[in-house]
Amino acid sequence: MTTASGPPTVPVPGRQTDVIDAPHLARVTFGDPGLERQILELFLRQVPIMLDRIGCAPATMAVAAAHTLKGSARGIGLWRLARSAESFEQAVANADEDRIKGALSELTAAGLEASAAISVHLDRSFADRTRSR
């Protein structure tokens, strides 16, 4: 979705409290549980790598990593993580050191939250599949 003032914004699902937007994830994986699992497992491996790059790299590389993480998070319905990555990008663009520190803390927390939610989601889907056999 694009706003009148510029770049695309992340949809904020109404009243959704889940970390993962399951309906969105199901749409992008065409309802295929195997594909969903593969994508989530890849993302789970990507999060700590990208957070490390963001926290340790020079600003231009950190912004590139945050941008990558933002796109990946949007792709699978991790809206809080995507918003946090976008906030970090904006803080770096504005060269606001205090805001950068706060945005990095928020991004790290959102990344950890997303990783935990993905792990739980994968465990549940595995348990559901083994029960249905």
Residue 2, beta-bridge partner list = 8
Find all residues with CB under 8 Å of 77, minimum gap 6, and list them: 20, 21, 22, 23, 24, 25, 28
Q: Using one digit for the tens of pLDDT, what is the confidence trace for 10-68?
A: 444 433 458 999 999 999 999 999 999 999 999 999 999 999 999 999 999 999 999 99
Model-level pTM greater than 0.85?
Answer: no
pLDDT of residue 18: 87
pLDDT of residue 34: 94
Mean pLDDT of 68-81: 97
80 vs 66: CA distance, rounded Å: 13
The per-residue pLDDT of the chain, averaged, comes to 86
33 vs 119: CA distance, rounded Å: 15
Single-letter amino acid code for the residue at 125: S
3-state secondary structure of 132: coil
- CATH of 22-128 among 3.40.50, 1.10.10, 1.10.510, 1.20.120: 1.20.120
Tell me the domain boundaries of the chain: 22-128
Phi first, then psi: what are they for 96, rounded to 5°?
-100, 100
Q: Is the pLDDT of residue 81 over 60?
A: yes
